Structure 1
Amino acid sequence: MLVRRFAFLAVICILAVGQARAQAWEDIDPSTVGWSVEKLDAALRKAKALKPTALMILQDGKVIARSGDVSRKVKMASVRKSLLSALYGIAVEEGRIDLSASLADLGIDDNHPRLTDEEKTATVRDLLTSRSGIYHPAAHETADIRRKRPVRGSHAPGTFWFYNNWDFNALGTIYRQQTGEDIFKSFQSRIAEPIGMEDFSIEDGRYAREKLSEHPAYPFSLSARDAARFGQLFLNGGTWGTTQVIPATWVKESTAAYSWAKRIRQGYGYMWWTLPEDTWGPNAFYASGYGGQIIAVVPSKRLVVVQTVDLSQNPKGVRTSAFIDVMKDIASASP
């Protein structure tokens, strides 16, 4: 009898996962919920001219518009950082990672030239906010970051913001070390499956290693419709259905601004960008990756907007500023 009961429960669990994965987005006619169809059509034409792979617009968890191939998996570049940030929220809640722990406490170092004692005073929180003060060469750096990277020792930990791949990559190492989990397996079991992602598998992540640093990057590929689920999860305050997938306190904390990129009037949280309140209302934020990979969340409009760009098809990509202009038009069309 006990064996039968366990077998029955196993079948129920398998069916539940299958149902979560099979649940597709619900499309809704925007004209029936107060959208300006004329303005929305103009925004969609503007977006299409940028040649993205896919675009999805959600309001209240329903699809207002979609274009392109929303099931095509695309390399999401720096969006990876926001995905890891979500996993950190779970690990912190479970007591497996302490944000106040220093690199010295955690035994984190790097290849020659090794970290100095001062650099090792940087905390996990300093890395999450990209304020570590550690300007060691890093894997997956762009030429722009290499050119702008400050001199080693020029800023003490916690005192200066610089968008720094060393911080982001070392956080991947710390996550694996402190949780004992692979990043991609963890994302699949802790986020992708609970929210019913339709396309993601652990094969869609890899570790990008370079000799200059012992901390690899961890690029992801996602489809637009799966990226939209991740954005909706954060709009929902970390809940999916009746399940609290990401702690609500972490959603709020990680998407608050701790630094400001004054040139573009945007803030930076725990590996999320934030948008100015005077334009977007309170608590708007987005994940951004090179070439136009975007997951944007605008709580004041109950909106999630996702754009993916396959750079093998559109080598020039889409500038973030161009996407932001489109998103303003989308917001103007919404009720």
Structure 2
Amino acid sequence: MKTRTTLRLQMLLLGLCLLSALQCPAQTQPAKLAPVYPGKTWSSADAPEKYGWSPEKLQQARAYSGTIATEAVMIVHKGVILDQWGATTKRLNTHSIRKSFISALYGIAVEAGQISVDDTLEKLDIDDRAPSLTADEKQATVGDLLKARSGVYHPAAYETASMKKKRPARGAHPRGAFWYYNNWDFNALGGIYEKVAKQNVFDAFRQHIAAPLQMEDFQVPADTKFVNEPASDFPAYVFRMSARDMARFGLLYLRNGKWADKQILSEKWVRESVAAYSKTGGSGGYGYLWWVAVDGRHYPGVKLPDGSYSARGAGGHCILILPEYDLVIVHRVNTDIPNKVTSAQLGKLLKLILDAKPTDFK
């Protein structure tokens, strides 16, 4: 009898629990906010403190930048301008940031089936002026060039004196075995792209990147120039761009290649591009024409979160992407005149900016 009573009570309790579950609405997770993108113009935060940033510490960063050769800074958090100062609309030489631009074009060409990172120079019928490429050098792949590991040490256009001095001897390393910051690789990639895409790199960038991102200042041909030199058949491709347009490019990568409702670059390409294939000392590592933070190392004096990476140009130009913080920082220098911000100075500035971030940043 006692057992029957206990069983009835258990069944009754079970029924009450089921009834309660049916009557109570299920708990729902708060809706995830859609990523923010600029339209024809950027939106700005009303006040940095509303995003948890310290205005006082941002002012310290701004004050320090006034003591070095900084021309402009833009800080984009969650798709809006958190803070900015200097000549953010001025179109300046991007120097080696051009290489990250060409990396993006390769992502589009690979996705379109126009080229593969496994294609060799031999397959693509690529050669250069005498002394021309050897049979071994022609086994280098597009991927090797994107990683600056081609093993082709042919003289190149737009090389600095330092690059020429450090360039290994022809045949010193086989393809894929050694990282060297090699203008031959970078310039040849421009020529290869034009050959397979049948389009000038500048027109392609305008069509596939600048136009869909609604860049406000970039113009073709005014902001573009090929630099030809007798050493090589492959010219350097030089871009001028404003800080606010460079911030759009950085935001494209921060959003994994997506711009509003359009996937401009595949997520796979972005992921592969910002993986570190080589160790580069204090700067961390090197991907597909992108510099990659490794174990916090990227610039002197500042530790960055995992997954951070940057496009860099001589003199202190930088597009720094920090996915952990949903953040893009652009730094410009007027290198049209003899100006330079050293890596140590830029590292200090970046630390001052990041010191202003929310303590519970994410």
Q: Say whether the fold is shared (TM-score over 0.5).
A: yes
**2:92 corresponds to which residue?**
74
Find the counterpart in structure 2 of residue 320 from structure 1. Answer: 343
> What is the DSSP-based 3-state SS (H/G/I as helix, E as strand, rest coil) of the residue aligned with 2:321?
strand
> Which one of the candidate residues 242, 253, 278 is aligned to 1:259?
278
Match of 2:191 in 1: 173
Structure 2 equivalent of residue 231 of structure 1: 250
Normalised by the length of structure 1, the TM-score is: 0.91
Tell me if the contact between 2:97 and 2:312 (Cα under 8 Å) persists in the aligned partners. yes
Note the C-alpha offset of 1:312.
2.9
Q: What is the alpha-carbon distance in structure 1 between the residues aligned to residue 266 and residue 236 of structure 2?
A: 25
Per the alignment, in what secondary structure is the counterpart of residue 73 of structure 2? strand
Point out the more displaced range, 121-130 or 318-327: 318-327
Indicate the residue corresponding to 1:330 in structure 2. Answer: 353
Q: Give matches, 1:95-106, under 5 Å.
A: 95-106=113-124
Per-residue Cα deviation, 1:151-191 (whole angstroms, up to 9, x for no partner):
11010001000000000000000000011011011111101
1:91 aligns with 2:114: no
State the AA in 2 paired with 1:191.
I
Paired residues of 1:21 and 1:193 also in contact (CA < 8 A): no
Secondary structure of residue in 1 paired with 2:233? strand
> Superposed, which structure 2 residues align to 1:31-50 within 5 Å?
31-50=49-68
In structure 2, the partner of 1:143 is 161
Q: Are residues 334 and 282 of structure 1, via their aligned partners in 2, closer, same or farther at CA, if it must alter by over 3 Å?
A: same
Check the 8 A contact 1:169/1:218 in 2, yes or no: yes
Report the counterpart of residue 306 of structure 1 in structure 2: 330
Range moving further from structure 2, 64-73 or 321-330:
321-330
Residues 72 and 87 in structure 2, CA contact (< 8 A), matched pair in contact too: yes
Matched, 1:282 2:306: yes
Distance in 2 (alpha carbons) for counterparts of 1:196 and 1:119: 40
Q: What letter corresponds to residue 208 of structure 1 in structure 2?
A: V
SS, match of residue 200 in structure 1: coil
Q: What letter matches 1:294 in structure 2? A: C
* CA contact 1:277–1:283 (8 Å) conserved in 2: no
1:288 partner amino acid: R
Cα separation, 2, equivalents of 1:265 and 1:229 = 23
Distance in 2 separating the partners of 1:316 and 1:22: 31
Residues 93-124 of structure 1 show CA distances to partners (whole Å, capped at 9, x for unaligned) of 11101110110000111001111100000000
Q: Could you say which residue in structure 2 is the equivalent of 1:111?
A: 129
CA offsets 1:223-281 (integer angstroms, 9 cap, x no match): 0000010011111111111111111111111011000112x141000000011343322
**Alpha-carbon distance, 1:320 to partner:** 2.7
SS in 2 for 1:199: coil
Unaligned runs of 5+ in 1: 1-19
Q: Say if 2:73 is the partner of 1:52.
A: no
SS in 1 for 2:276: coil
Give the structure with the higher percent helix: 1
1:197 and 1:321 mapped to 2: Cα distance? Answer: 30
Secondary structure of the 1:270 match is coil
> Cα offset for 1:325?
2.1
3-state SS of paired residue (1:56): strand
Matched position secondary structure for 1:117 = coil
Counterpart for residue 13 of structure 1: none
The letter of the residue matching 1:93 is E
User: Aligned in 2, Cα 1:320/1:283: closer, same or farther, shift over 3 Å?
Assistant: same
**Which position in structure 2 is the counterpart of 1:8?**
none
Question: Are the aligned partners of 1:28 and 1:63 in contact in 2 as well (CA < 8 Å)?
Answer: no
CA deviations 1:3-33 (Å, max 9, x no partner) are xxxxxxxxxxxxxxxxx87333334311111
Contact 1:301 1:331 in 2 (8 A): no
Distance 2:93 2:273 in 1: 23
- Larger mean CA deviation between 137-146 and 20-29 belongs to 20-29
Corresponding letter in the other structure for 1:53: E
Whether the aligned pair in 1 keeps the contact of 2:74 and 2:244 (CA below 8 Å) is: yes
Report if the CA contact (8 A) 1:277-1:284 is conserved.
no
Alpha-carbon offset, residue 71 of structure 1: 0.7
TM-score computed with the length of structure 2 as normaliser? 0.84
Alignment of 1:186-201 (within 5 A): 186-201=204-219
Superposed displacement of residue 321, structure 1: 3.0
The match for 1:248 among 262, 267, 278 is 267
Aligned amino acid, residue 329 of structure 2:
V
Deviation at 1:48, TM superposition (A): 2.3
Question: Which portions of structure 1, spanning 4 or more consecutive aligned residues, are displaced by more than 2 angstroms?
Answer: 20-28, 276-279
**Alpha carbons 2:283, 2:291 under 8 Å: kept:** no
Over the residues paired in the alignment, what is the CA RMSD in angstroms?
A: 1.3
Tell me how far 1:328 sits from its aligned partner.
Answer: 1.8
Residue in 2 aligned with 1:7? none
**Does residue 145 of structure 2 align to residue 121 of structure 1?**
no
Structure 2: give runs of 5+ residues left out of the alignment: 1-37, 297-302
Question: Alignment length, in residue pairs?
Answer: 314
Matches of 2:159 and 2:194, distance apart in 1: 21
Which SS does the other structure have where 2:289 is aligned? coil
Query: For residues 131-165 of structure 1, what are the alpha-carbon distances to aligned partners after superposition, in whole Å with 9 as ceiling and x for unaligned?
Result: 00111100000100000111110100010000000
Partner residue, 1:11 = none
SS of corresponding position for 2:330: strand
